[in-house]
Structure 1
Amino acid sequence: MFVDFHCHPVLHSYNSDSDIWKSDPPTTRERSAMINTANLRTPFSAKFSQIDFSSACSGSVRLIFLSLYPIEQGFLTGILTTDVLNPHRGKLRQFLNVPFRSFLKHVLRSVTFGEYEKVTAKVMLNMKGARYEAMSSPDHEYMDDLRGEYQYFMNAPKSKKIGGIEYKIVIFGSFREMKVRLQLNERFEPQTQENIIGVLFSVEGAHAFGSGQLNTIPADHQAELEQLNNLAHPNTKAILDKMLDNIRETKALGNGNHSPFFVTFSHHFWNQLCGHAMSLAGIMHVVFNQERGMSSGMTELGKKVLEALLSRENGRRILIDVKHMSMEGRLWYYNYLEENHWKKGDMVPILASHMGVTGEATKENESTDHFLMDDVYNDSGWFNPWDINLSNEEILTIHRSRGLIGLNMDQRILSGSKIIDSMTRVSKGIDDIGTSVLYKSIWAEPILANILHIVKTVMRSDVEDKNYVWQMIVIGSDMDGMINALDAYCHAGDYRVMREILLQKMILRTQVDPLLYSVNLSEVLDGIFYKNALLFLSRNF
């Protein structure tokens, strides 16, 4: 059994109006594509889905935290508007050898709609023209997409025969219900003979409730910030009232049984609630403009929305996921929990649903100069040092809260530049990657490195209950969330092999790593791949 704490098995099918059971596993060539989740068939992009319900069946994924994501208008409008495109900035010369505009114009000739934004939407999500028109409208409400993706999934078939075996999708409303239906024993091992894929919902981006939209963001950012920090301002009050209503509606989904388990508070673009961490690199940050609000802190509007999500007075508590939040926003949140919950005995756990580690002791807000940060990443070794990842200090804070860290399968999140270059270079010399143990071992190294770093950070500290570290790590793959996944592990069908390879690597590591001497490695991996998530749910769901 495997559990994925963060993935998008419906995002692509919803936006392209296709079957949630449709399976399209990767070819050998597609595993090494530059963006191995894209759908447009170009020389550098693959077309396969990373996770769908059929591939989940083949990979023995039996519990999915299904992330509902209203795609941000920043991905669809204002393409190629970043400051770097100003010829006076001078940095554009770094990209003169990348004929991106020429590529877009070439693609434009072969499609029926005519703007760069529509092509980008098609490249990323195989999005239909009508779908693009609706989402890029100045009147578009993100809440409509949240409702839409949820309803699309609810209307989809919940069972399918694959290889003569019938699989069923079951949405769980509580851990008690899950325990009974899966017949979990005291070791959290399912005993049921039914082939069930359990689903819990989450939401990626609190913008989903109605902020950060074309119809809520004014032209003047400084004036906007003054409004957002004044809850009595008519514009701010209108946004807040709408968002509180939408949060109540979301908590009431399925008579409250389908209320999301957590919300990833920030995402790639300014949501008027909290700044976002820099997430796009290279040519991507030239195409998509992340500049507004990046690395800024919480607004007063954001604080009220966060309180409404955590509240139990308007429905079931929705936990906060700190992935994508700015460093300033995360630090504010940790302090907020300390003062308003932990000191009162309410140990709200911190979730980092799909992250990696920086390898650094602490982290402060970084430069917002994308080119400078590209240079920082290009000089990185084992880990990605950008503040989209977790510092050691944050790992210890999450441990203290009895929270969870989900490991993202994105190459760049898990790995530094030099390690990726090394893995790619060695992989090119392997003839049959489909059967090569070396190939699979190479691409498992970043996963193991992140696991061991988290463990060492806790074990070498002075925190209490250090052994909880083995219970705080899960897999939050982010598959089909527009990621460039690890080549050998870019599909839900790869989990079984991933576990086997990690076990062999950890057995070998016991010869040199004292931290692994006294632990049952098979139990540790069972925890990471499914038991830790179930144990966490038994305490918090």
Structure 2
Amino acid sequence: MPFFDFHCHPSLKQLLAPPGTTLTPWDQLSVKLNIGKLFGRETQIGINTIFNGVMNSQSNLMQMHKANVNLAGVIIYSIENRIAQGILLRKAANSGKINLLDPEIMRQLSNGNSYYEWTKKTMDALVNNPHPANASNGKPAFKFINSINEYNPDDAGTIHGLLILEGLHNFCNDPFSANGEADFENNFDDFRQRYGVRIFAVNIPHMQDFPFANHAFGMQFIKEDLFFPERRGLPDWGKRMIKKMYDNDILIDIKHMSYFTRTQLIAQRSQLGFDDRPLICTHAGVTGLHSNDRYHRLLERPKRTDGVWKIKHLKSTGLVPDSAFNHSSINLYDDEIVAILNSGGLIGISLDQRILGFPIENIAYQLNDLPFDHEYIADAEQDIFFRGFNDPGDIAPWLDMSNVLSGDDALNQGEITMEVHYSYFLNQLLHILDVAKRNRLDLNKVSRQICIGSDFDGLINPLDVCPDVTSLEAFKREIRRRLQLKRTLWKSLSFSKSDLDIDALVDGLFFNNAFEFLKKHFV
């Protein structure tokens, strides 16, 4: 059986290499750090351990071909200027010591005035390289499709791509210029005419502040204050963008919107008569909470700094043993899961270990320091996010530690990641099903509304048990085995194992569910 991935970036990292390297989306990246001469020879060392698996290839087209991922949401993403600025703050990147990361390209991107030019470069890298350089007889191959009817399941050699754009800044030159919206309109029209490829879905914001929507904080391995949320939901420009997308039969991916922005989108979708458009989240994590509890499980009182409120979420233990949740608002609340499911939508589960709740490394765990996830809430959305408190600093810390991950727990889990990372993934899957059951939704129907949305090559730290797309076959096999044999998985759920067809659930998760969804919504 083939595989489906709702969200991957096969053409992102190759474009960051120095001129003359002539890399394509088919090429494997093995990023090295130049450390100078050792015993008289220029020496490089692997950088993967330094950047936690972020820099090397996770989902290039050749990897996808070898893994039989022949249907996928292929992401076009123009790197935001503050990400470029943050990378340049790291001496190794700014000095050019990282062999496949050109600081001059980062400096160009840091200006933030040519997003659409980068969008075209990324798109050209895909459409101008339909085959690898050493392909014979036209296989393997890549192509974008404009309808699921163009997907040929018998053509295992071709990767069929659904075009998704992560952030509408992709169609801007400089979004903050006086001509920002006019440029967006012109570039959007130019893109569609230039490439003739149907856009399946878009995210509205991504990782940083733009004038058309507020985003959820989500960037933690680069200087954080570059990525503080600054706005209040959707201004008029953002609302016009949403209507334009739906008018053009483009779905909206709710990932990366702030909590308030998501509530506005869901309301506007109904008000404008687009209830027939399903809600999707292509690379999701779940908070494990209803939105009414979004600021309850805090390690300490919120603190205001530089126009944002910093909050530290404790990590509630998961439904699955040896797992926990990331309560940050970049993830889905239970009521949002229900809204997506009721809309007939599709949820892709991310394979980013932090999003799935796995605690980041911390030497303080040796002292049983409590693990936490932190985020920042914009002043402008304070009254919405902290509803009921005029001063968020009055919110008391959470005191009940009976179901909270401890430092000892985190330390122990960090030593056996090849075991517990399965638990963190299964906790996401089973929580979505548990939410459905508790809300009296049809469990078998809901089990057909979940898929994989890895975010591979999207600058993530992937699960150790599935570090790249070539691991999907073994990952799927082990997920099936655990669902079938591990009785402890089902103890804390509102339903039993016998309520589900495990084989159908697993086959649906890795391919069938998305295929059936596309037969309804991509025709």
Within 1, Cα distance between the matches of 2:286 and 2:474? 23
Contact 1:407 1:475 in 2 (8 A): yes
1:11-44 Cα distance to aligned partner (Å, 9 max, x none)? 00122252322235899xxxxxxxxxxx972762
Deviation for aligned residue 1:404: 0.9
Q: Aligned ranges for residues 427-506 of structure 1 at < 5 Å?
A: 428=415, 440-463=418-441, 465-506=442-483
Contact 2:444 2:500 in 1 (8 A): no
1:476-527 Cα distance to aligned partner (Å, 9 max, x none)? 1001111111112111111011111111111124674543213221111111
Out of 82, 91, 95, the residue aligned to residue 111 of structure 1 is: 95
Contact 1:270 1:276 in 2 (8 A): yes
Within 2, Cα distance between the matches of 1:78 and 1:485? 21
Contact 2:215 2:229 in 1 (8 A): no
Tell me: CA distance 1:336–1:496, structure 2 relative to 1, closer, same or farther (3 Å). same
Q: Aligned ranges for residues 311-350 of structure 1 at < 5 Å?
A: 311-312=247-248, 317-342=249-274, 346-350=275-279
Within 2, Cα distance between the matches of 1:489 and 1:300? 41
Q: TM-score, normalised by structure 1?
A: 0.74
- Which sits farther off after the overlay, 151-160 or 399-408? 151-160
Tell me: CA distance 1:340–1:372, structure 2 relative to 1, closer, same or farther (3 Å). closer
- Which sits farther off after the overlay, 514-523 or 140-149? 514-523
- What is aligned with 1:414? 356
For structure 2, list consecutive stretches of 5 or more residues without a partner in the other structure. 33-44, 296-301, 319-323, 360-370, 372-404
Contact 1:206 1:266 in 2 (8 A): yes
Deviation for aligned residue 1:206: 1.1
Question: Percent identity between the aligned chains?
Answer: 24
- What is aligned with 2:516? 535
- What is aligned with 2:38? none
Determine if the alignment matches structure 1 residue 66 to structure 2 residue 74. yes
- Partner secondary structure for residue 201 of structure 1: strand
Within 1, Cα distance between the matches of 2:470 and 2:7? 16
Q: TM-score, normalised by structure 2?
A: 0.76
Within 1, Cα distance between the matches of 2:252 and 2:340? 12
Out of 11, 16, 19, the residue aligned to residue 24 of structure 2 is: 19
- What is aligned with 1:8? 9
- What is aligned with 2:103? 129
- What is aligned with 1:144? 117
- What is aligned with 1:77? 85
Contact 1:243 1:305 in 2 (8 A): no
Out of 237, 248, 251, the residue aligned to residue 189 of structure 2 is: 248
Within 2, Cα distance between the matches of 1:43 and 1:487? 12
Contact 1:411 1:420 in 2 (8 A): no
Contact 1:206 1:263 in 2 (8 A): yes
Q: CA RMSD in A?
A: 3.3
- Which sits farther off after the overlay, 142-151 or 163-172? 163-172
Out of 47, 56, 61, the residue aligned to residue 41 of structure 1 is: 47
Number of residue equivalences: 441
Deviation for aligned residue 1:130: 3.4
Q: Which amino acid aligns with 1:532?
A: N
Greater share of strand residues, 1 or 2?
2
Out of 505, 508, 522, the residue aligned to residue 485 of structure 2 is: 508
Contact 1:250 1:259 in 2 (8 A): no
Q: Aligned ranges for residues 178-217 of structure 1 at < 5 Å?
A: 178=151, 181-182=152-153, 192=154, 194-210=156-172, 213=175, 216=177
- Partner secondary structure for residue 57 of structure 2: coil
Within 1, Cα distance between the matches of 2:156 and 2:346? 28
Out of 214, 231, 244, the residue aligned to residue 275 of structure 1 is: 214
- Partner secondary structure for residue 424 of structure 2: helix
For structure 1, list consecutive stretches of 5 or more residues without a partner in the other structure. 28-38, 81-100, 113-118, 183-191, 217-234, 430-438
- Partner secondary structure for residue 291 of structure 2: coil
1:210-239 Cα distance to aligned partner (Å, 9 max, x none)? 1764x52xxxxxxxxxxxxxxxxxx3xx32
